[in-house]
Amino acid sequence: MTTDNPFFAPSELPYQLPPFDRIEVDHYLPAFERGMEEQRAEVAAIVADPAPPTFDNTLVALERSGRILQRVSATFFTLTSSDTSDRLQEIEAEVVPRLSAHSDAIMLDAGLYARIKDLHDRRDELGLEPEPAWLLQRYHTEFVRAGAELSAEQHERLRAINAELAGLATEFGNLVRDEMKARAVVVDDAAALDGLSADALAATEVAGRDRGLDGKYVLNLVLPTGQPPLAALHDRALRERLHTASVGRGAGGEHDTTGLVLRIVRLRAQRARLLGYEHHAAYNISDNTARSVAAVEEMLAKLVPPAMANAAAEAEDLQALIGDEFTLQPWDWAYYTEHLRRERYAIDENELRPYFELERVLSDGVFFAAGKLYGLRFSERPDLPAYHPDARVFEVFDHDGSPLGLYIGDFFTRASKRGGAWANAVVPQSRLYGTAPVVCNNLNVNRAPAGEPTLLTLDEVRTLFHEFGHALHTLFSSVQFPKFAGTRVPRDFVEYPSQVNEVWMLWPEVLENYARHHVTGDRLPQEVVDRLQAAEQFNKGFTTTEYLAATLLDLAWHTLSVEQAEAVTDAMAFEAEALERAGVATPFVPPRYRTPYFAHIFSGAAYSAGYYSYIWSEVLDADTVDWLTERGGLRRDSGDAFRDGLLAKGGSADSMDVYRAFRGRDPLIEPLLKRRGLLGSTVS
């Protein structure tokens, strides 16, 4: 096991793709242990170097350290997200706190920080080029933020907090995944599923068989509050069952997460105070492009009143459609919204789906747009191993035919995959390492029965374009240091390039190429395309409000002081009060994520006090889409400008400086307000 462990040496496969066909579950723990041991030794050697600190003997050496640990971590956490198992979860529960302690041991190493501080103090005399200078700045900032300047006693408390938080986050994520599976709605009679398309109905039958429930039908849950079948099911009682199952996740029973939430919030508040911040939000946002909680709150304050007003008007329209038969409830919203959409725009989601066959959307839509804008070409590589039979490997070639990287697409839902959709770098690009990027996209699309095509909803098409935007950010990375590769940018900047990529979904040239009926091959009729464009702002009050509610809920949890966090004893009561206080409490529009299954902010810290990032990034996105539109859309010169001026930079410079250099000015908020139907009443 020690000599043949695949992680102990770089992979010999193209692009250093992990040899998934050779990796066994028992390889992970020994690789983690050796990886941590090796990096500790490498850091110790840096600290013990008798030579005065230089950029090379300190920061470059630090960037070169921990290669085994990087390889095993990237592969392991790809698997725990995409294809987990009981054994992988056991290893995860053991190794995550150890990784947290390992990171703390480095970030709180007094000797290492002394060398970094020495370089930082002399930064003006070092004559560094821009990327190395930024590396020095980032390391100094990150060490200070990690607590390097605290006392030894404070270090011990910080280590304990970080270790406990790491374990709690893993436990939260596992409970959310298990609860999604447990809360799936089982239906005995197919007649209750009237309204679902034929392929969606078949998918519920497949889901039933997958659970050993032959003859029954299963509506699997997705991570957000809103469940897609709610838009189609005629049976109101079943809609209520499905909605209730969704919003009730994690608030009691075997997979209750609310106790974990209270503990996580208290620990984060304690850590923030230890590090000199008022609360966790102040700590997190200070290192994002927003810089302050006040700046985020100022932007959100412009959006909440008009969004709520639009949602209220939409609710009135839906109630008018229902009439006096009953009062509109949350489980009715999507269903009657679809009725209203058909009435106003003659758009029916179920009639659209035959035009959105997964394979065609991928190759003739997503890949086609990347080819037109950036000159990319994609070639599937079935000879290269993936971690699951559903995951497909594509080689990506640049505009000049040179190899660029690998793209892994894993699109189908399964019990071993967490909910939602995401992108992750399996191998980061780095000139220091001589590595090209390997990036993976995950979605949770219901698989069609064997031999039948998988048809996507409009929202699933959008999600595929969105996640591929993250993949492009990773593939186009052109940096020296792995710390800056691809999407390793501030949290409130990372969604910007992916949201820009969504514009091509309905771009006429792209839509015409992929939106073809899977049986007849006919193009989506132009009159339908026109109606889709006309309906762009339809239901925006709801979608904006559900997002803002989740964002403000995130901020409510993370702007608590230590004392305030300790005083909260009922998570669901706090949620209700927070939404009321923020002005987004409405019976019709629950938050996109409720507290007990808000994995973005509690299953790890990436989006904690950072869920606002999507709307913050959308300001940049909408401004950039205006620029692309003004320049004529899918033009290679525009693609090259966006790629070279922004995507290729990764995190190798201040993100807003990169944006200003690319766009020639600061971003404007008006394009976002116009897009969401909020222009006219929000800008003072």
Active site residues: 467
Q: Are 581 and 537 in contact (CB under 8 A)?
A: no
The length of the chain, given as a count of residues: 684
- Strands 422-427 and 403-412, by their bridges, are unpaired
For residues 471 and 477, give the distance between their C-alpha atoms in angstroms, rounded to a whole number: 10
DSSP 553-620: HHHHHHT--HHHHHH---HHHHHHHHHHHHT---TT---SS-GGG-HHHHSSSTTTTTTTHHHHHHHH
Beta bridge partners of 479: none
Q: Are 634 and 509 in contact (CB under 8 A)?
A: yes
Identity (one letter) of the amino acid at 486?
G
For residues 593 and 570, give the distance between their C-alpha atoms in angstroms, rounded to a whole number: 17
- DSSP label at 112? H
**Token reading at 568:** 């909260």
All residues at 6 or more sequence positions from 666 whose CB lies less than 8 Å from its CB, including other chains: 660
All residues at 6 or more sequence positions from 212 whose CB lies less than 8 Å from its CB, including other chains: none
For residues 284 and 610, give the distance between their C-alpha atoms in angstroms, rounded to a whole number: 8
For residues 67 and 559, give the distance between their C-alpha atoms in angstroms, rounded to a whole number: 37
- DSSP label at 365? I
Torsion of CA 24, 30, 32, 33, to 10 degrees: 180
Q: Are 59 and 136 in contact (CB under 8 A)?
A: yes
Of 669, 17, 84, 636, residue with least CA distance to 384: 17
**Angle of the 540-558 helix axis to the 571-582 helix axis, nearest 10:** 120
**Element spanning 405, H or E:** strand 403-412
- DSSP label at 187? E
Q: Is 211 helix (H, G, I), strand (E, B) or coil?
A: coil
**Element spanning 422, H or E:** strand 422-427
